[in-house]
Amino acid sequence: MSSASKHIVSDRIFILVWLALLALTGVTVAVSHIDLGPWNVWLALSIASFKSGLVIAFFMHMKYENRLLKGFFFCALLTLAIFIGFTFFDVHYR
- Enumerate binding residues for another protein (CB under 8 A): 1-3, 5-6, 8-11, 14-15, 17-18, 21-22, 25, 28-29, 32-33, 35, 38, 40-41, 44-45, 47-48, 51-52, 55-56, 58-60, 68-69, 72-73, 75-77, 79-80, 82-84, 86-94
Long-range CB contacts for residues 33-38, cutoff 8 Å, separation at least 24: none
Contact 31, 44 (CB under 8 A): yes
Instruction: Report in angstroms the alpha-carbon separations of 79 from 30, 73, 86.
Output: 32, 10, 10
Task: Give the Cα separation of 58 and 12 in Å (integer).
Answer: 12
